Structure 1
Amino acid sequence: MRITGGAARGIPLTAPKGRDTRPATDQLREAVFSSLGSRIEGARVADLFAGTGAYGLEAMSRGAASGCFVENSREVVACLKKNLAAALKSCGTKPSDWHVLAQKVDRVSKNLGPFEIVFMDPPYAMIEESIPGIFVQHIAEILTPDGLACIEMPGNLEINLPGWAAKRRLGKAGKDKPTMVFYERG
């Protein structure tokens, strides 16, 4: 697994051993960032359920101005910090513009935002039960009014989020196939 584009292209990303993370595939990340195009340049981004930080690091590599990574597992946070340090060397961005928070997503404060783009790559088992509540209680507070929330989920899953519209789906259909769904207020 590596950063697929931008200033840090080719930098490998490490993940902890075990099943605590399910890193986003290079192919899906390339499709996501191709779709985002210039929207990523200069944006403030949040990578929630960050794991290795793949989405946030890819955004930084492609020109995002600042952001934060939120991950609950301390072991995973240690890997994420190593990945961030490696990417920062290539990106020419200030380390103080990027924050790693070792906490649960539901503790994210609106004081951290607002963000133009929020990436979420939660454990698939919690998506249907937890993501709607997280949107209502937290994402609406930290995302700009015209912001974009991007959720990675299994290709066979459809989630109705009241007050939000699914604008685009990237990836392949199927239970074990990762897809990224872009949500906007609507």
Structure 2
Amino acid sequence: MIVEIQEEDVISRCIVYDNAFENDVHVDSFLWRFGPAKEDGASHESAVLRRLAPEDSDVHHIGCGIAVKKNERKNNPPPGKKRKYYCGFRSSCFGSLPKSGDGYLIDIKHLPEDGVYAHVDVALTITVEGKSARANRRTEAGLALAEQFGPPVPHRCECDLEDEHHPLQVWGVKCLATDGEVLWPALTS
């Protein structure tokens, strides 16, 4: 059953290395990296509806599954730079998220996918013409979304605890601090 997302609902975005990283540091501009449009004319990314995945461990479980699937699609690369690692998530109140901007529209809906009932589809439709203008709007929309998301909640999946190449092992939680933000106090004290 599809649920309607309410203004007060919280959604979380999983952080996967290296998709959301630049030069080994998580950056806002890569939290939402919208690719080319699909057949429906929109670019799609995913999030988690916290009302349906209320515990942090629920989101971590989903994020770990995302990394596993990405690695399977790449024939399970060995530990290191070519491997995908789940590193945690960031959250925002749905009501604070932009739904449109100059040259784009963002549609955010609950849409279960791949067995994940809490999955949210974030669809970006670009309303301007021209390759460069469209690419700029994709970046602008991703940044507008990312700016509304709070600090990361770091996590290492159980399957990665012994992996010395996991970003949180190599660089520590500071690799998740974006734009000078402070990570959860318990992690920095």
Same fold (TM over 0.5): no
TM-score normalized with structure 2 length: 0.27
TM-score normalized with structure 1 length: 0.27
